[in-house]
Structure 1
Amino acid sequence: MKMLEKLCCMRLPTAGKVVGWLGVISAVLGYIRILLLMNGTEVVGDTMQKQYMQIDAVTGSVLLVINSLNLLISVLLLLGIQKNRHGLVLPWLIFHGVVLVICGVAIVLAIVAFFASAEAAILVLVLGYCLGLALAIYIYHGILSLYYYLKENGGPDGSWPA
């Protein structure tokens, strides 16, 4: 498999930092959303009809743990890039590899649901999920390329080419 030299027109370390900071920001926003959902919050509402959504403590706790893992792994990715240590990038690759497999299974189940019901709305969701999965695989491949580059050239004396 050919390793990437750039990810989204950025050098790998720059793209890795962007991905890491996006992970940190999404984790912070995730904490806010989970806490709001645990307390019961308005999801869809207008003056005529309001719908409230609330999750129980067990579900909220599981989501908080997953969100905390995402925060920790994103910080490790940022530290791995800063310190040129490939071992700190590996948790991000493992966590997101599992997430990609779960998303792939969910897409297969959504395709089966589409053929079982033949509703056009499910097809639109499947196409959106497939595009999102393709983007996620591209980003994963970029971070994997960064991992291999750090493994070969990293360490305390490693440096990035100009």
Structure 2
Amino acid sequence: MLKNLIIYFLIFTLGLLTFNNESQAFFFKKKGDKNHTKSEQADQVGGKKILVVEIFASWCPGCKNIQPTLDQLIKETPDIDFLQLNVSTPSKAKISEKTAKELKLTEFYELNKSKTATVGIVVPSSGEIVSVFQNNNDIEEYKTSIEEARTKEKALTQE
């Protein structure tokens, strides 16, 4: 009985260590710049690229579930900006709230900050949220929404 308890405790502890690791895929850094702030990230994604925004928490199983799909999307669409709004802790959530405000994504953030593993596709010129996904692993659905956002962005920039 004690042996089983020890084994369960070790498995549980290892699981916690695994879930506590943040994804680095969504943090924008210039080459050689290890201290890139959230404000600088906001400046970087403030251009005219389609923006994919994830509400993330290190303890969220759904975030871990969709991460391989989002990593693949990053590889396949280098012309898209990705942003992760981290709500793992109150201090990280406060920073993410500030970043969302700087990018005019306050409404999206407020509506979804408690719904981790939520991903939004944003048209940069208008700030319109084209699609919102919850714990979705279908890369084709993301690509379709990105194309829809590109179409809307082109229409806005041609006006």
Q: TM-score, normalised by structure 1?
A: 0.26
Q: If you compute each CA radius of gyration, which structure gives the higher value, 1 or 2?
A: 1
Q: TM-score, normalised by structure 2?
A: 0.26
Of structures 1 and 2, the one scoring higher in RCO (CA 8 A, sep 6+) is 1
Between Structure 1 and Structure 2, which shows a larger proportion of strand residues? 2
